[in-house]
Amino acid sequence: MSNVTLNVQGMSCGHCVKAIEGSVGQLDGINEVKVNLSEAQVEIVYNESKVSLEKVKETIEDQGYEVE
């Protein structure tokens, strides 16, 4: 398992949290997704043999947010 914290810009409300947690959480290999609005961060625990970090970033960006 890998644990990574991504800086994500554009999140501002509960809808943003649900959009990211819902979309990333559906990916195969994701164990945990936690959004911290006040810190503009998304913490992810994932199985790197099932899903790549690039796929996670792409999924967040597809929801309209910018991953730094």
Nearest to residue 17, comparing CAs of 45, 39, 47?
39
Domains belonging to the chain, first-starting first, are 2-67 (3.30.70.100)
Distance between CA atoms of residues 47 and 18, nearest Å: 21
Averaged confidence pLDDT in the chain: 96
Question: Which tens digit of pLDDT belongs to each residue from 13-45?
Answer: 999 999 999 999 999 999 999 999 999 999 999
A 10 A CB-CB count for 49 gives 9
Q: What average pLDDT score do residues 57-61 get?
A: 97
pLDDT band at 63 (very low <50, low <70, confident <90, very high): very high
